[in-house]
Amino acid sequence: LGAGGLPMGRIIEIYGPESSGKTTLTLELIAAAQRAAKTCAFIDAEHALDPIYAKKLGVDIDALLVSQPDTGEQALEICDALARSGAIDVMVVDSVAALTPKAEIEGEMGDSHMGLQARMLSQAMRKLTGNLKQSSCMCIFINQIRMKIGVVFGNPETTTGGNALKFYASVRLDIRRVGSIKEGDEVIGNETRIKVVKNKIAAPFKQAEMQILYG
């Protein structure tokens, strides 16, 4: 990153395709923060946090605040409340794609909810940014990749939740699986490449490779 690590008091976005190691990377970050005596919170909107796996990565589950909100609004309100409290140093939201607006949850299956999630996130970002800065709390958003329809030239990939997060994030990390680690014929892990797509604190576009071993 060129600045000695991720910045406190800022918004970070980590995105990539499925099973590229996004949650693993954030759990590693939480473990490192806990070793530095920082208080961490995990907002599990996907309801998919595996405590056994987290423990293996060095996370102190008993000291980790975990919340599994029902709606996107609830998740973002929890984020804002934690940021204002000043009691939390590192917050992780897993994932932006799972932050479903209340209206969508309560609506019918076929209803159209264009732009609802983007509007909700945009509003939350405006509030969150200032509160995070004041309490020097880092908020990490995990995001998924979607394909834009009808893109002939350029990159068809985009992240969910509109543009607000792209603008408000100080650091954006793109994480990709680039190969497999094998022991004989058995695949025992992933080769992963992390690219710094946006960096407001140092020069962007640097890359790093890391290995994620299963189990």
What are the pLDDT digits (tens) for 162-198?
A: 889 999 999 999 999 999 998 888 888 899 999 999 9
Inside any domain, residue 4: no
In Å, how far from its chain's centre is CA 124?
A: 15
Inside any domain, residue 5: no
pLDDT-derived band at 95 (thresholds 50, 70, 90) equals confident
Inside any domain, residue 1: no
For residue 188, give its domain range.
11-104+114-148+156-213
Structure tokens of 37?
């005596």
* Model confidence at 51: pLDDT above 70: yes
The per-residue pLDDT for 170 is 94
Taking the alpha carbons of 116, 93, 194, 16 in that order, is the dihedral positive or negative?
Answer: negative
Strands 207-213 and 186-199, bridge-based pairing: antiparallel
Inside any domain, residue 6: no
Mean pLDDT computed over 156-161: 87
pLDDT-derived band at 101 (thresholds 50, 70, 90) equals confident
**What's the domain count of the chain?**
1
The per-residue pLDDT for 105 is 83
Inside any domain, residue 109: no
Mean pLDDT computed over 23-47: 94
Inside any domain, residue 3: no
Inside any domain, residue 44: yes
Cα distance between residue 48 and residue 26, in whole Å: 14
Inside any domain, residue 88: yes
Q: CATH number of the domain that 136 lies in?
A: 3.40.50.300
